[in-house]
Amino acid sequence: MKKLSRAQDGASLGKSQLKKKVAQIVLAQGNIFIKDLLRSNNVSIGNTKAEFAKNLTDAIDAGVLTQAVIEAWLDEIEGWGNQHVYLFEPPSIARARVRPALEASKHVGLLDRKVSYEFPDTLTLSTIAFSGDHLSVAWHRSRGGWERAKSKDYRRDEGADTFEYRAYRERFDRSLVRFEWRPGDPYCAVMVQLPNEGEEHAQALSRVWQDLGDLGLARSPLTKIRLGSAFKRLSRKTDATVQSARLLTQGGHVELVSTLSEGGIDAVEAVRNVRRGVEDASFATADGMFSFTTEKYRQLSRTIKMEGYGLESRLRIWVQCKRDDVYTILSVIWSNNAP
């Protein structure tokens, strides 16, 4: 797959180039967020992705959607949700030393670069943004491929032979890994949009620690924060709809599940009473499936389904969302994670 050079990537794009990036990257985002982009810029939305694409390119031609507008939107949308999240203790570097460290590193050319248009074959450091109260470092990796486009199939006769051509459309997609740290928070996060299979996460984290070292931010891997206490507390409180809870101890576990299409274990009286009767201190950790609804958290752009894994101190956000949505969920997790 063709990759953009450093000279091209991050530079000012002409309208034709910008429309190509829209086709490659913007249309890979969720429909509800593309609609938000169009709606917020007073652009006709349409009903299908083909209509979204046409309306996006028409708006670029008209000068309504500019590169700055699209990049600000991508910075908020791409790589948020549909991901695994690990929390770590923050780097020991003082806030005032972060920018000087970044400027002195070999990656200074990426500083204040919020959006990348690259599709690298391997996980590659691509953007670094630091505003003083928020550090965001991102790595990209291509995961594009080919999908069937039956409407483009055709047959052609050549002499006595007939040939049938089956069409595939090249699909551009990419995965992101993020290191996110707000120096005022007691934690930082590594967010991984890669499957939790084999060594995928271990290799991604190794790359994060290597590059953070090169950036002068952390000399060694940061300490993972255990999240089992948060998942235990969430499973008995009403901060989220608890669809399942699995309490683990050495030699066994207790599992409580709601099979309701709507409502969690708190809506099933017998299961609710069992949960209230369980002594949390008897269990080392917990897993669980939780839903954070827009009815309870009005600041969310959508209801967020999250799965927690206590033994791994990992959470899995199952839907694409926005930057602020992820931080809302993390704030709830953290408030329930006190010793």
Contact in structure between 128 and 182 (CB atoms under 8 Å): no
Please check whether residue 255 lies inside any domain of the structure: yes
Q: How far apart are CA 110 and CA 128, in angstroms?
A: 6
Residues 21 and 48 in one domain: yes
The pTM score is 0.83
Q: How far apart are CA 270 and CA 60, in angstroms?
A: 57
Per-residue pLDDT of the chain (339 residues; tens, 9 = 90+): 333 333 334 568 888 888 887 777 777 777 877 888 888 899 888 888 788 888 888 999 988 988 888 888 888 878 899 999 999 999 999 999 999 999 999 999 999 887 887 888 899 999 999 998 999 999 999 865 566 778 888 899 999 889 899 887 665 568 899 999 999 999 999 999 999 999 999 999 999 999 999 999 999 999 999 999 999 999 988 899 999 999 999 999 999 999 998 889 999 999 999 998 999 889 999 999 999 999 999 999 999 999 999 999 999 999 989 999 999 999 999 999 976
Task: Give me the DSSP letters along 193-244.
Answer: -S---TTHHHHHHHHHHHHHHHTTS-SSPPPBPP-HHHHHHHTTSSSSEEEE
State the maximum Cα–Cα separation within the chain, in Å, rounded to a whole number. 81
For the chain, how many structural domains are there in total?
A: 3
Residues 235 and 207 in one domain: no
Domain that holds residue 233: 228-335
Q: Last residue of a domain, which of 28, 55, 77?
A: 77
Residues 199 and 310 in one domain: no
Place of tokens 């590169």: 67
